[in-house]
Amino acid sequence: MGAEPGPRREVVTARPRTERGGLPLPRPANPPGTGPAAPADDTAVTALMRRQMRAALTATALLVASLGLLPVLLRLLPLAGAGPSVPLAVWLVLGVAPYPALLCTGAWYVRRAERNEGDVTAR
C-alpha cells in the first residue's frame, strides 16, 4: 500500500460547480428517492406507539415502585434500634439486589417490545 517510489501522484478534484458560487449548498428538502416513506398506515403507527409506550411505562413503573420508594422507606423505618443484621440487609438491598432486578425488567421489556413489533410486521 501507499505510493510506490517512482512516478509521483497528483491530487485531482473536480472544480466546484460554478452555479453554487461560494454559497453553502442548499440542502435538498427532499433528496431524490427519500420522499414520504412507504405509505405508513397512520393508525397502525399510533397503535404500535401506544403499545410500546405502555410497555415502557410498565417497566418504568416497576423501577419507580421498587427503587424509587427505597430512600423514603429506608428513612422512615426505625433502623436505629434494630438488631445487628439490619445494616447488612440495607447494604444488600442497595448494593446487590437492584442489579438482577434491573436486568430482569430489561429482559421483560425487550421481549414485550419485540413481540409488539412482530405483531405489526406479521400483519
Partner 1 sequence: MNQTYSIAGVSAVVLATVLVGALGLRISRTTSDFYVASRSVPPRLNAFAVSGEYLSAASFLGVAGLVLAQGSDMLWFPIGYTAGFLVLLAFVAAPLRRSGAYTLPDFAEARLESRAVRRIASILVVGVGWLYLLPQLRGAGLTIRLLTGAPGWLGGLVVAAVVTVAVAAGGMRSITFVQAFQYWLKLTALLVPAVFLLLAWRSDHTPAPVWDERPVFQRSTQVRLDGPLTLTVEEPVRITVTGTVDGRARHGGPLTLDAGTHRIGAGTVLRFPSGARVPLPGTGGAGTAPSSGTNPLSAGREQHGLYTTYGLILATFLGTMGLPHVVVRFYTNPDGRAARRTTLVVLGLLGAFYLLIPLYGVLGRLYAPDLLLTGDTDAAVLVLPQRLIGGVGGDLLGALVAGGACAAFLSTVSGLTMSVAGVLAQDVLPTLGIRHFRLATLPAIAVPTAANAVVSDLPVADAVGLAFAVSASSFCPLLVLGIWWRGLTPPGAVAGLLLGGGSALTAVTVTIAGGAGSGWLHTLLAWPALWSVPVGFAAMVLISLATRDRVPASAAATMARLHLPEALTGHPGPATP
Partner 2 sequence: MTALGTVVLALAGLALFALGAALGHAGARRQQENPAGPGTPVERATFHTLHTASLAAPPLRAGLTPDTARKAAKRLRPLLGTVALALTDEESVLAWDGVGDHHREEAEAQLAQAVRAGRTQTFALSCGNDTCPVRWGVVAPLGVDGRVPGTLAAFGDAESAVMVRAAEEVARWVSVQLELVDLDRARSGVIEAEIRALRAQISPHFVYNSLASIASFVRTDPERARELLLEFADFTRYSFRRGGDFTTLAEELRSIEQYLELARARFGRRLEVTLRIAPEVLPVTLPFLCLQPLVENALKHGLEESADRGRITIIAEDEGTEARVVIEDDGVGMDPQRLRDILRGRGGPSAGIGLSNVDMRLRQVYGDDHGLVIETGVGAGTKITVRVPKFRPGIRPAPLPAG
- Check residue 5 for interaction with partner 1 (CB under 8 A): no
- Check residue 54 for interaction with partner 2 (CB under 8 A): no
Least distance from partner 2 to the Cβ atom of residue 115, Å:
22
36-45, long-range: CB < 8 A, 24+ apart? 44/120, 44/123
Residue-wise DSSP of 52-109: HHHHHHHHHHHHIIIIITHHHHHHHS--TTS-THHHHHHHHHHHTTHHHHHHHHHHHH
- Check residue 39 for interaction with partner 2 (CB under 8 A): no
Least distance from partner 1 to the Cβ atom of residue 100, Å:
7
Residue 32 binds what, of partner 2, partner 1, none (CB under 5 to 8 Å, by partner type)? partner 2
> Please, what sign has the CA dihedral across residues 68, 72, 75, 79?
negative
Name the one range near partner 1 by CB under 8 A: 4-12, 13-21, 31-39.
31-39
- Check residue 9 for interaction with partner 2 (CB under 8 A): yes
